[in-house]
Amino acid sequence: MITLLCSGSRGDFQPYIALAQQLKKLGKDVRIAASKSFEGFISGYGIDVFPIEADIETLNVDPKLLKAAGSADNPLKMLLAFNKMKEYGIYMVNDYYSACEGSELIIYHPGCTIGYFAAQKFGVPSVLASPFPMHKTKEYLSVVMYGKTKSNVLTNKISYVMIQGMLWMASKDSVKGFWKKRFGNVPDNFCCPFERHTDKKHPAIVSCSNYVFKRPEDWNENIHQDGYWFVEEPSEYSPSDELAAFLDAGDKPVYIGFGSMTSLEKHDGLVEIAVEALIKSGKRGIICGMGKPTNLPKNIIAIDGAPHTWLFERVSAVCHHGGAGTTAAGFKAGVPSIIIPFSNDQFAWAHRAYDLGVGAKPIPKKELSAEKLADAIIFTLTDKINANAETLGKKIATENGAIACAEIIVKCLQRC
């Protein structure tokens, strides 16, 4: 049994579901440890789930902390938010450790470092699976500072100290507390494990396209980046009659949706800004995940949700918050991006889309207005941006990141 540890929102889990799907195709038994609230979502893709009892709801996490984590728009705020959230981690570590027992290999998200130390305890391989590039390199800034400062030897070094430090801080104390209570001491060589994946029995894998951030030449050979990890939907999606009719009724619409950001906090005026921007730009639009506004113009529809893999190929541009998974889906679809970053690494993906020439200049959530959004929509729908986005989508389609990384994991087991 291969056990995969992950945490976060639905969007955070999707790349790991994709990895699990490919491992199953290679004949491996695999399960994902996740809170009960995600059990149905994950099992819907045919993947077994080890249920984690503790989650945001059962722990009664202070809504103010969730709001702070969802609006951390600079590295200092991110650091403070991670520091405050860490106290809740200890309640989850016990279940994560139990999930690892009996496993032949453990794959862990960088926010779940208990996986590394459990693998060390059980004498089985561990694989660090990151949803973004996070290993030290001199070639570019990490995603916590990309686009916010100029890249040079010093800032690059600081940026990786920051991202690894924040991720380590998120789980360090909970792992330490659990281990002392369970075993009376701390794990052997207890320190940040991210740069320890240096041999073929303990590789690191990264979900990112080499056409978005090229794999750095100064990474060790056991850090693998072969493309994004995209899920395979269990069945062909069937849209509602209303959505199908809307898509057939005219030009491809602009998609506007902000994913988990609008579930973490109520953002007054966001729907109104989206509607006004679409009207000002003269474009049809789909507003997703922000309720059902009344009196919408006939050229705008509101939906609760639809698979990005299906919907993004049917729109003219995607406007979103800049989550790593949503950004990847937009890039793959070959359509322009308009990214409104709210917090954390979302700023990096917004700036990267602009730097690659496949999106509008980032508009931070705090600076968002109908006028700026309308201008961004018009900018992205120019021939040049459309052509760049289409080219990037075709390049990403040549990669098979989940398949390649699943094969690396199986080879890792064969060496043991």
Give the DSSP letter string of 53-69.
S--TTTTT--HHHHHHH
The per-residue pLDDT for range 77-119, each reduced to its tens digit, is 555 555 555 555 566 888 999 999 999 999 999 999 999 999 9
Average pLDDT over residues 283-294: 89
Q: What is the mean pLDDT of residues 240-255?
A: 94
The yes-or-no verdict on residue 54 having pLDDT over 90 is no
Helical packing angle, 75-85 and 153-183, nearest 10°:
0
* Amino acid letter, 409: I
The residue-averaged pLDDT of 51-60 equals: 64
Could you tell me which residue, 84 or 129, shows the higher pLDDT? 129
Tell me the C-alpha distance between 318 and 321, whole Å. Answer: 10
Which range scores top for mean pLDDT: 68-72, 92-96, 165-169, 405-409? 405-409
Tell me the whole-structure pTM to 2 decimals.
0.89
DSSP-derived secondary structure for 38-104: GHHHHHTTT-EEEEES--TTTTT--HHHHHHHHT--SHHHHHHHHHHHGGGTHHHHHHHHHHHTT-S
The answer to whether residues 71 and 265 touch, using CB atoms and an 8 Å cutoff, is yes
* Environment class of 242 (CB within 10 Å of its CB; exposed 0-12, middle 13-18, buried 19+): exposed
236 band by pLDDT with thresholds 50, 70 and 90: confident
Q: Are 10 and 260 in contact (CB under 8 A)?
A: yes
Residue 75 pLDDT exceeds 70: no
For residue 260, the model assigns a pLDDT of 64
Give residue-wise pLDDT tens across range 24-53.
999 999 999 998 888 899 999 999 999 988
**Secondary structure class of 273 (helix, strand, coil):** helix
Per-residue pLDDT band for 253 (boundaries 50, 70, 90) equals: very high
Residue 167 has pLDDT above 70, yes or no: yes
What confidence score (pLDDT) does residue 171 get? 87
pLDDT band, very low/low/confident/very high, at 170 (cuts 50, 70, 90): confident
pLDDT average, residue stretch 216-222 = 96
pLDDT above 90 for 245: yes
* Residue keyed to tokens 């541009």: 317
In this predicted model, what pLDDT tens digit does every residue of 341-385 receive, in sequence order? Answer: 988 889 999 999 999 999 999 999 999 999 999 999 999 999 999
Domains of the chain: 2-228+399-414 (3.40.50.2000), 241-397 (3.40.50.2000)
pLDDT band at 159 (very low <50, low <70, confident <90, very high): very high
Question: Would you say 124 and 106 are in contact if contact means Cβ atoms under 8 Å apart?
Answer: yes
237 — pLDDT class (breaks 50, 70, 90):
confident
Quote the CA–CA distance of 340 and 367 in Å, as a whole number: 9
CA distance 148 to 141: 9
